Chains A and B, each alone.
Chain A
Amino acid sequence: MNKVLHLLISLFLSSALFAQNAIVSGTVIHQDTKLPYDEVVVTLPQAKITTSTDANGLFKFSNIPFGTYEMILSADGINEEKISISINAENTVLEPIELATAAPTSNNYTIENSGASIEDASSQDENSISSAGQNVASVLNAARDAYLSAATFGWGQYFYRMRGYENDQNVLYLNGVPMNDLEEGGIFFNSFSGLNDVFRGRSVGLGLGPNEFTFGGLGLNTTLDASASNQRKGTRVTYTATNRSYRNRVMLTHSSGLKKSGWAYSFSLSRRWAQEGQIKGSFYDAFGYFAAIEKRFKKHGISLTVVGAPIKRGKVGPATKEAFELAGTNYYNPYWGYQNGKIRNTRVLNSHMPMVVLSHDAKLNSKTILNTAVSYQMGETYTTGIDWYNAADPRPDYYRYMPSYQDSASVSSELAQIIKANPNLLQVDWDGMYEANILNKKAGYKRSLYIVNENVEASKKLNAAINLESTLTDHITFYTGLAYQGQNNHNFLRVGDLMGGEYWVNNNQFAEDGIQGQVVSTSLNVGEKDSIRKEGDIYGYDYNIHFKKASWFAQGVFTYNKFDFFVATELGYTGFYRTGNYTHGLYQNDSKGDSKKLNFTTYRVKGGMTYKLNGRNYIYANGAIGTKAPFVDNIIVSARTRNQMVANPQNEKFQSAEVGYLLRTPFIKTRLTFYATDIKDAVDIKRYYDDQGGSFTNNVLQNIDKRYTGIEFGAEVKISPTLSATVAGALSQAYYTDRATSILYSDNDVALGNTANIKEQTVYMKNYYVPAGPQSAFQLGFNYRAKRFWFATVSFNYLANNWMDFAPTRRTIEGVDLLAYNSAEWSAAIDQQKLPSAFTIDIFGGKSFKVNKYIKKASNNTFLNLNIGLTNLLNNQNILLYGFENLRVGSATAQPDWFVPKYAHALGIQYFINLSLRF
């Protein structure tokens, strides 16, 4: 250890003492607006070195020998501007370089012109939020890194997750405030989707490197800037036609640019819609609105942004292999059915969470910047569903309706024939549900037997952050900040549509027959005046979760000729509790009022070093260690009914390290990173209805230990001035490193105090894979960029090692009880399934037209952009996005055929045509 330290110090000293080399930095700005020019490629051919500007127009070279150089700048890769610079100081800061604004050619494809959108990925299922999150964020920097580009455009739609992490490891800051939700840790892109024009990336980084406003997560750290002054001046109208989750999109954006008076404003409106997406029953109806105003003073600026996105869309559900086969399509969607001959979806997502962000930045002196930002967001997100009372299960793919459930083979095959002959039997019978309600009403019972309910989360979020960035010396930049997030989630069920009946009753129908022979209270809210519910009334459950999170972070970044260092730390506090608004009949002493208030203190430390062999070759190593508070959803056993919490809640612990090599020459850009992350003492609760026990059950898993490790690789090779090739790959493994402990809290046992049944078990899941999407992915791509403002790209993708989510209860002693050890049945019951690998081909192309070439009246700045894309060109409809085992089975001997896994398929060939006019 000491030797290494000595070596490092001597290396550092040598580079400092015998510096013949310099750090060169500069800023590129638009000639017309004087705003920072991002994504400009800056090259020093003599030094064989290249880089590109960031969102602030900044670029930096290290380790450049003193001397005079020709520097080439190009915004579009076609038009070049050459200037001469001379380097004669260890820290050479160049004068701002003005560059004429290039035509908006598509020298890279981004979300905004690819037609892709985060909702595409998330339309399949909630599970996809993680990959969706990465999509948006990574796109911002996709052009700079072949791996990020591949992960976003080639793999993201197949639920590839960078490094296998959950969405809570990805951190997003918008206009300086933290955006991650406190309940689940992830980012809810629904709140501002469809506004691609105005959310510009300020910075993005994967892994453990330093960040601007925050310590950051282990995954992707993104800072978005939507302030008015940073919007490109002008007006832009976009129309997109596609066949994904929506079919049409229009966007209108107008930005003033920064006016001489110091004011800037910007607004954007969008609408995306489809009467039906590519999958039946999946309609789409979304708006987005954005307005921002900003005033710049000499030394500071203040900015106000309002953003919101009312969304309504019909969901698509996963299904069993049997159902896909019966339906004859891999795009079978069990959520819809005909009502009066029209398709109606039972599961409609509705969300509208408008947000206001007020931010202020001040240049305290030439070296110090203070950013302050506050945001407030409130709104509702709900998904509809069907609730029923003393009536047949309306889910058409309910396991008892399936041929596999039938007693005899002849009945099974007969039933299969009938279903194949009448595919509507696999869809929801809306007319039948209405008829049942009407018959019931006529028989003198006014209660609805079926209703549409709404599973509501009404949320209020107050986020604030204050950040200081100070350049202490030429070599040292210091960052510190405080962040606060407060959140109150009100969760309840609401009667949506009584479907012809007159009311619903707030009763616990599962308790009506008593539990295990005991007569129990059936009230869901003991003591309430009236249990009759009409449309719009709350029923079922009603509780609030209160969250608070605060953190302080500090970071020092040290930049030298041969070495860059940084060290960062964060101290955090997380607190949450539940407030029940209902006294549940089964948990009368533990449901209403405040739960125990849990508080967690966390720390995180990270640091890293980059060694610059020369200006082109970099080696870097980063490491992090710390703790993370658990999420409320994994602590409160059954928030819908009671305040009970898991025993011994604790922080999860992590350690992470990465080592990488970076090569940047004008002809080849490469990054190779090895990473390893250990997470220990994580907790997870899986909830399901246990058919055999006849009770809702909460499977609390504790002491989950996981390891994420692998290699990422990306290279961009310039074959000729117009043709480049990209190669990207990820070879990773995310797996459990130990057995977890499991406790099954059956709601019935808890209600009756049968504590003997609530005992700890071991889940034998060591070396099982974490279901983290495809863990191996490769891409080979070719990008042709012609001089006449057009480009074309073809990429080949291969994804493999996608492991299915498994049921922990099966990997217990009881789960394999009565199965002969090591027998085929035993293996079938516990082996983790691997989803098949997938191969896809995508092509993109685009052209930009300068309109005044054709229409003389048009202004010089008027451009028409056309982008076209085809993904999954081979129309492979068998690609599985994910699969998960049914949690219902406690014992493998009990008819495993009934409780089979469910899967979701990726879409086949998709197109988009994107036309945008900018003036």
Chain B
Amino acid sequence: MKKLITYLSLVLLITAAVTSCVKQKFDAPPDSTGIDPNLPVNSTIWQLKQKFNAVSGIPVEITDDITISGIVVADDRSGNFYKQIIVQDTSSGIVVLIGRASLYNDFPVGRKIYIKCKGLYLGAYGKFIQLGYKPDISNSLSDIPSTKIVNYIVKASFIPDSIKPKVVSINQLTNVVTNEKLLGTLIQIDEAEFEGSVIGQPYAQDPNIASGTDRMIEDCALTQIIVRNSGYASFKNALLPAGKGPIKAIYSRYNSDAQLLIRDTSDVQMYGSRCSGNLNLVTIKSIRQMFPGSGNFNLGNELKIKGIVISDKSKGNISANNIAIQDATGGIVARFTTSSGLPSLGDEVEINVSGAVLSEYPTTGGGVLQIGGLSTGKFIKTGTGSITPRVATIKQINDSLEAWESTLVSVSGVTLTGGATYSGSKTATDASGTITLYTMSGATFATSTLPTTPVSLVAIVGQFAATKQLSIRSLTDVQ
């Protein structure tokens, strides 16, 4: 019995020890995102922004007890904004610089915040007004130190999508000076598309190349505005959409340039058909046939052509502003107003030729037909492809020169004579006849040695006044 009591008491002791539990279950903290502390607000954002002297650009310390409130309209979730958020009220919006990463953990888009501005500074970057901390000697504001956030920013309720963007047109945005109130706010353009030359390219280049990349959007009147994307944005590798549609963005400026800053690619809903969508696709042959034979001819509206680039700008044996494109019906030279950003050999492109000018170069005595005055915004790369050269003798080429102009031909058993190198006019001879092989002195292969044994050639057919000629793209065209 005594033993039993002993054991029972032991069991009790052990039970007591075992149940004297170490508390390790944790409640989830309550959701505080519905609470608004209702601090008294004594200034609008617009009133605050006006304290900054935009002319001198010198930062000003806010010495009064100013409290503003607003809704976060841009955060750093995607990385397109870094160490900053944008806050907007009914009057205007402003950038707030905060020295911490992942600000959206605390201040996501849709969160209402109060900012107690006393002790903070107003400054600007590229004249875009910011609220931040002490400036450096170059008048750049520093970020509000992360440990001081609580001193200045008070979190309030969170209502996603509480700000509806103001719908505007690109035209209304281009003058940043008259739109000071709109700067720093969320806007929407209903009908916009990326310019044709950048479609299919990434939103931003790698940050090793550029920290940010400007991509132009335009409306159907071809009025453009910059969309600036950070090389550190998570969407930097996403491809620009080809369609047309609404875009939401923060309206900002960099000096006199207006620029739009998106929060993420979900702000870009360009899925409709483009402005050029109602253009009539015509064959290159039909364009060629429109040319009256001399002078300048203005092409009508609503025309586009589609073909594959057969020239190689990288080798320099074509005028820098020109490309030669060919479709199933023929070829033609497209001449742009700039030499940069042109499509490359093998690109399949669609060119809006509405209102463009047809002419020959040289203008007299026979020349190559070209569509001139094109801006790079006029073409869209739609893919890639290749053209199989037409196999022909030199006699056949000479005979069909006008029809075959600006198309690829392949000739075999050709002897090249007339000099030691490719540069300039040389004579190509096969069993059927001769033709000039012309190479521009600026071509990368101009000083290469002309082969002495018979070769096969792939070349673009052309003419210069009375001279019928062939031009190779690179030495790989000579076998």
Instruction: Find the A residue at minimum CB distance from B233.
Output: A513
Whole-angstrom distance from the CB of B187 to the nearest CB of chain A? 21
Q: Which of A273, A390, A401 has the most CB of B within 10 A?
A: A390
Q: Which residues of A contact B17 (CB under 8 A)?
A: 248, 250, 271, 273
A:266-281 near B, CB below 8 Å: 269, 271, 273-275
Rounded to whole angstroms, the CA-CA distance of A351 and B158 in the bound complex is 41
Q: Is B147's CB within 8 Å of the partner chain A? A: yes
Given contacts A273-B20, A275-B22, A275-B23, contact A443 B108 (CB under 8 A): yes
Q: Is A847's CB within 8 Å of the partner chain B? A: no
Rounded to whole angstroms, the CA-CA distance of A514 and B79 in the bound complex is 14
Q: Is B399's CB within 8 Å of the partner chain A? A: no
Q: Which residues of B contact A386 (CB under 8 A)?
A: none
Given contacts A411-B145, A517-B208, contact A390 B160 (CB under 8 A): no
Is the pair A435, B33 in contact by a Cβ cutoff of 8 Å? Answer: yes
Is the pair B77, A434 in contact by a Cβ cutoff of 8 Å? Answer: no
Instruction: Find the B residue at minimum CB distance from A430.
Output: B29
Q: Which residues of B contact A237 (CB under 8 A)?
A: 10, 13
Whole-angstrom distance from the CB of B416 to the nearest CB of chain A? 43
Q: Which residues of A contact B30 (CB under 8 A)?
A: 340
Whole-angstrom distance from the CB of A444 to the nearest CB of chain B? 7
Q: Is B175's CB within 8 Å of the partner chain A? A: no
Given contacts A436-B105, A438-B33, contact A415 B160 (CB under 8 A): no
A512 touches which of B105, B160, B234 (Cβ 8 Å): B234
Rounded to whole angstroms, the CA-CA distance of A436 and B146 in the bound complex is 16
Rounded to whole angstroms, the CA-CA distance of A244 and B269 in the bound complex is 62
Q: Which residues of A contact B39 (CB under 8 A)?
A: none
Contact with A along B140-182 (1 / 0, CB 8 A): 0010011110000000001010000000000000000000000
Is the pair A431, B22 in contact by a Cβ cutoff of 8 Å? Answer: no
Is the pair B32, A392 in contact by a Cβ cutoff of 8 Å? Answer: no
Rounded to whole angstroms, the CA-CA distance of A342 and B27 in the bound complex is 9
Interface SS of chain A: helix, strand, loop or mixed? Answer: mixed
Instruction: Find the B residue at minimum CB distance from A449.
Output: B105
Instruction: Find the B residue at minimum CB distance from A422.
Output: B147
Q: Is A184's CB within 8 Å of the partner chain B? A: no
Instruction: Find the A residue at minimum CB distance from B109.
Output: A443
Q: Which residues of B contact A275 (CB under 8 A)?
A: 22-23
Q: Is A432's CB within 8 Å of the partner chain B? A: yes
Is the pair B100, A519 in contact by a Cβ cutoff of 8 Å? Answer: no
Q: Is A312's CB within 8 Å of the partner chain B? A: yes
Q: Which residues of A contact B237 (CB under 8 A)?
A: 514, 519
A:392-410 near B, CB below 8 Å: 392-393, 401, 406-407
Is the pair B22, A285 in contact by a Cβ cutoff of 8 Å? Answer: yes
Number of A interface residues in the complex (CB < 8 A): 53
Is the pair B33, A392 in contact by a Cβ cutoff of 8 Å? Answer: no
Is the pair B24, A439 in contact by a Cβ cutoff of 8 Å? Answer: no
Given contacts A392-B102, A442-B160, A517-B208, contact A312 B24 (CB under 8 A): yes
Is the pair A432, B106 in contact by a Cβ cutoff of 8 Å? Answer: yes
Q: Is B111's CB within 8 Å of the partner chain A? A: yes
Rounded to whole angstroms, the CA-CA distance of A631 and B100 in the bound complex is 42
Contact with A along B209-224 (1 / 0, CB 8 A): 0000000000000000
B:89-132 near A, CB below 8 Å: 100-102, 104-106, 108-111
Rounded to whole angstroms, the CA-CA distance of A812 and B26 in the bound complex is 48
Is the pair A513, B24 in contact by a Cβ cutoff of 8 Å? Answer: no
Rounded to whole angstroms, the CA-CA distance of A284 and B24 in the bound complex is 10
Q: Is A869's CB within 8 Å of the partner chain B? A: no
Q: Is A719's CB within 8 Å of the partner chain B? A: no
Number of B interface residues in the complex (CB < 8 A): 42
Q: Which residues of A contact B31 (CB under 8 A)?
A: 438
Is the pair B26, A274 in contact by a Cβ cutoff of 8 Å? Answer: no
Is the pair B105, A392 in contact by a Cβ cutoff of 8 Å? Answer: yes
Given contacts A435-B33, A436-B106, A514-B237, contact A339 B26 (CB under 8 A): yes
Whole-angstrom distance from the CB of A697 to the nearest CB of chain B? 20
Q: Which residues of A contact B21 (CB under 8 A)?
A: 273, 285
Q: Is A129's CB within 8 Å of the partner chain B? A: no
A:409-456 near B, CB below 8 Å: 411, 414-415, 418-419, 425, 430-432, 434-436, 438-440, 442-444, 449
Q: Is B18's CB within 8 Å of the partner chain A? A: yes
Q: Is B402's CB within 8 Å of the partner chain A? A: no
Q: Is B328's CB within 8 Å of the partner chain A? A: no
Rounded to whole angstroms, the CA-CA distance of A436 and B14 in the bound complex is 43
Q: Which residues of A contact B111 (CB under 8 A)?
A: 439
Rounded to whole angstroms, the CA-CA distance of A713 and B148 in the bound complex is 58
Rounded to whole angstroms, the CA-CA distance of A513 and B80 in the bound complex is 13
A:288-319 near B, CB below 8 Å: 312
Q: Which residues of A contact B190 (CB under 8 A)?
A: none
Q: Is B55's CB within 8 Å of the partner chain A? A: no
Is the pair B29, A431 in contact by a Cβ cutoff of 8 Å? Answer: yes
Whole-angstrom distance from the CB of B313 to the nearest CB of chain A? 24
Q: Is B206's CB within 8 Å of the partner chain A? A: yes
Rounded to whole angstroms, the CA-CA distance of A274 and B26 in the bound complex is 17
B contacts, CB < 8 Å to A = 10, 13-14, 17-18, 20-24, 26-33, 77, 100-102, 104-106, 108-111, 142, 145-148, 158, 160, 206, 208, 232, 234, 236-237
Known: A411-B142, A513-B232. 12 other contacts (CB 8 A): A252-B10, A273-B22, A285-B21, A312-B22, A340-B26, A390-B77, A392-B100, A415-B147, A431-B29, A432-B105, A434-B28, A443-B110
Can you list 12 A-B contacts (CB < 8 A)?
Answer: A248-B17, A271-B14, A274-B22, A275-B22, A340-B26, A435-B29, A435-B105, A440-B105, A443-B110, A449-B102, A499-B28, A517-B208
The 7 A-B pairs at the shortest CB distance, nearest first, are namely: A436-B105, A285-B22, A392-B102, A250-B17, A391-B102, A517-B206, A434-B29
A contacts, CB < 8 Å to B = 235, 237, 248, 250, 252, 269, 271, 273-275, 283-285, 287, 312, 339-340, 342, 344, 348, 390-393, 401, 406-407, 411, 414-415, 418-419, 425, 430-432, 434-436, 438-440, 442-444, 449, 499-500, 512-514, 517, 519
